Homo-oligomer: A and B are copies of this chain.
Amino acid sequence: MTQPARKRRGSGRTTLHDVAELAGVSAMTVSRYFNNKDGVGIDIQKRISAAIEQTGYVRNVFAGSLASARGRSVGMVIPHIAGGVYAETVQAVTDTLRPFGYQLLLASSNYSTEEEEAAVRAFMGWAPAAIILTGQKRSRKTTELLANASIPVVETWAHRARPQHIQVGFSNPSVGRDCTRYLHERGHRRIVFVHPQRTDDMGANDRASGYEAAMRELDLTPMTFRPQASVLLEAGAEAFRTLTGGRKPADALLFSNDNLAAGALLHGLREKIAIPQACAVMGFGDLSIADKLVPSLTTVRPPRYEMGKIAAMRVIELLRAIEEDSPTSAIARDNLLSYEIVERESA
């Protein structure tokens, strides 16, 4: 018998053609069934859906994406998956994208713009429908890559005056300002801002500048402190010890993050110092520890989940607009979300 010259064996999985054959229609009709059901007769729809059920057919994403030059994924780069800060944003993105059939491609940059660049480069091969990034600091090359890709780009945890991409974030200076006013309203005057030890947390610097502005508006003298200790909790204790001692002790400490603040509360507990009576303590982040400390920590909850959700929604809207060739101008490019001051016992 004459066998074909050579034959590549396929993946072995059922294909669109198998389903079409079983349903007694052409492959094209089955393809339409998936892409816009409306264009297929009701009776045929039933036959097709039965055939799909029977064969357990799953569409081959590669073939479809190759043919249509359109990916069914959204790439996302976050600084760090563990640690819980960005996990909620990722969760929101997957939650929001799932109903629309987009698959999340996740990569972690480990806080490095080079690793972010590598991740974006790797994404490109997947022809993602859109890319979601974290923060607003990127390498030149990354910016180039994104520009060339000409796909929607959304920055989460970002808030700048002249955004290059769609951005979703909150204002750190406002956080600093609002916290300062919050403390002022409660009668505190000698309010000190405690920096993190590392200076690479841009958000903290922005909160500090908001604090300084607010203090000046209130005719108070801004005072900042940067602990020496490298461990967060120790640094918090150091700040508390240093700033509440001396001749002119602070009456409120505004910490750049919850871990530092936790260190202060812990110090207070061990030394049996009454907080907030001796000195109020306020943090930022609303980490899971915040409401478990004694006293519970007054802090600021950033819109972690909301940022992911809004980012994903803007992506969906934009993709739909592009597909329908409708104007994208109605889609909000600058999404400034609100944070929440969580009033607890420590301030």
Contacts and interface: CB of A to CB of B under 8 A. Distances in A.
Interface of A: 10-11, 56, 58-63, 65-66, 69, 71, 80-84, 87-88, 90-91, 94-95, 98, 101, 103-108, 121-122, 124-127, 145, 148, 233, 262, 266, 269-270, 287-289, 291-294, 305
A299 to B, nearest CB: 14
Given A104-B106, A148-B56, A61 B126 contact: yes
Contacts of A233: 291-292
A65 B73 CA distance: 15
A94 B65 CA distance: 24
B127 A106 contact: no
A241 to B, nearest CB: 16
30 contacts: A11-B69, A11-B127, A58-B121, A58-B125, A59-B125, A60-B66, A60-B125, A60-B127, A61-B126, A62-B62, A62-B65, A62-B127, A80-B91, A81-B88, A83-B84, A83-B87, A84-B84, A87-B87, A90-B106, A103-B105, A103-B122, A103-B126, A104-B105, A105-B105, A233-B292, A262-B292, A266-B292, A266-B294, A269-B294, A292-B293
Contacts of A106: 90, 94, 104, 106
5 A-B pairs with the lowest CB-CB distances in the bound complex, closest first: A84-B84, A11-B69, A82-B88, A81-B91, A62-B66
A84 B125 CA distance: 30
Contact of A294 (B66, B103, B294): B294
Contacts of A127: 11, 60-62
A104 to B, nearest CB: 5
A287 B91 CA distance: 19
A108 B96 CA distance: 12
A160 B101 CA distance: 33
A301 to B, nearest CB: 13
A269 to B, nearest CB: 5
A83 B87 CA distance: 8
A243 to B, nearest CB: 20
A175 B287 CA distance: 28
A110 to B, nearest CB: 8
Contacts of A108: 91, 94-95
Contacts of A269: 269, 294
Contacts of A90: 81-82, 106
